[in-house]
Amino acid sequence: MDRQLLIICLLTAAINLIGTLAYSARIAGVRTRRIAMSFALFNILVLVSRTSNSFLGPFLAKRIESRLASGGGEALLGDFRLVLASASIAVFLGILLVPTGQRLFAAGIKHFQVHRSTGRLVMRLASPAGVRAVRQSIRLPSLTHLRGFTKDRGVGWGVLLANCLAQALIVVGVLASLYAGFLNPEYRVTASQLSAVVNGFATILLFALIDPQLSVMTDDVVEGRIGEARFRRTIVWISISRLVGTLLAQALFVPSANAVAWIANYV
């Protein structure tokens, strides 16, 4: 793995780690009873995660151009497989860090309630006190939570499958469109622009089906109709479906790239 590919993999991992940890903000909101603030943090992180996915485009496009210029285009598929694998590893790490994330977000919510400044919150995180708070917040899932994992999921299989599909499309959208440009170089620019259609559909699916379910459950927890433990299990199940989605992206990558390459001929 050369430096360019390492940077792409690390950026992909960071994007997916942020997206996975964003769900911890909802747990923190339930615990602190600062629902609106937790939603604001969640939306900021999700926006950063989903928007940053587009930033991969220039790096990956440069990778393709470099491979083509050096005559190593046949190695591109392996490069993209590594990028997809880095997304899966980051999501798995994010699932393990859900307890850490909820403690950090709870501390961040309390800090913002006092100082009312996003800038000061970011500076606090970068300060020695913030680093100390991060170190003190590190927790792994407890055995108690693991034993209760098989209980009520809180959401149906349809929601989990929809989230799995949406996450797979988001992960594979930019990658497949760029690889399609390699497969169909005559319409390379057209193929690369089709990623917006794929990601747009996946984002609508997430906002229309997944986010409302979590919002309703958050209200139910605040009103005492369901317990926090069940809500945490739901967040973990949603995160696991995201992990399965990144694994599914490996299977969808080549068919999606071929489909985009074909569609580019007729747009």
The tokens for 30 are: 């339930």
∠ CA(106), CA(111), CA(116), 5° rounding? 125
Dihedral sign of CA atoms 29, 218, 171, 207 in order: negative
Q: What is the mean pLDDT of residues 116-131?
A: 70
Residue 145 is predicted with a pLDDT of 58
Neighbouring residues of 63: CB distance < 8 A, sequence distance ≥ 6: 4, 5, 8, 76, 79
Q: What is the mean pLDDT of residues 126-137?
A: 71
Task: Please give the residue range of the domain that contains residue 126.
Answer: 3-142+152-266
Q: How confident is the model at residue 191 (pLDDT cuts 50, 70, 90)?
A: confident
Considering the domain boundaries, does residue 74 fall inside one? yes
The tokens for 156 are: 């149906």
Considering the domain boundaries, does residue 82 fall inside one? yes
CA distance 235 to 25: 10
Considering the domain boundaries, does residue 159 fall inside one? yes
Query: Cβ distance 180 to 194 under 8 Å?
Result: yes
Q: Which residue has the higher pLDDT, 152 or 23?
A: 23
pLDDT in tens, 235-255: 888 889 999 999 999 999 999
Residue 180 is predicted with a pLDDT of 87
Q: Which residue has the higher pLDDT, 126 or 30?
A: 30
Considering the domain boundaries, does residue 147 fall inside one? no
∠ CA(227), CA(166), CA(94), 5° rounding? 55
Mean pLDDT (the chain) is 80
- Would you say how long the chain is, in residues? 267
Query: Cβ distance 195 to 174 under 8 Å?
Result: yes
Residue 88 is predicted with a pLDDT of 94
Q: What is the mean pLDDT of residues 53-71?
A: 76
pLDDT in tens, 63-113: 888 777 776 667 788 888 999 999 999 999 988 888 888 888 777 777 777
CA distance 44 to 22: 9
Looking at residue 154, the DSSP 8-state letter turns out to be S
CA distance 267 to 265: 6
Residue 249 is predicted with a pLDDT of 92
Considering the domain boundaries, does residue 122 fall inside one? yes
Considering the domain boundaries, does residue 12 fall inside one? yes
Considering the domain boundaries, does residue 252 fall inside one? yes
Tally of domains within the chain: 1
Lowest mean pLDDT among 40-54, 94-108, 202-216: 40-54
Q: Element (H or E) spanning 165, and its range?
A: helix 157-183
Does the pLDDT value for residue 146 go beyond 70? no
Considering the domain boundaries, does residue 13 fall inside one? yes
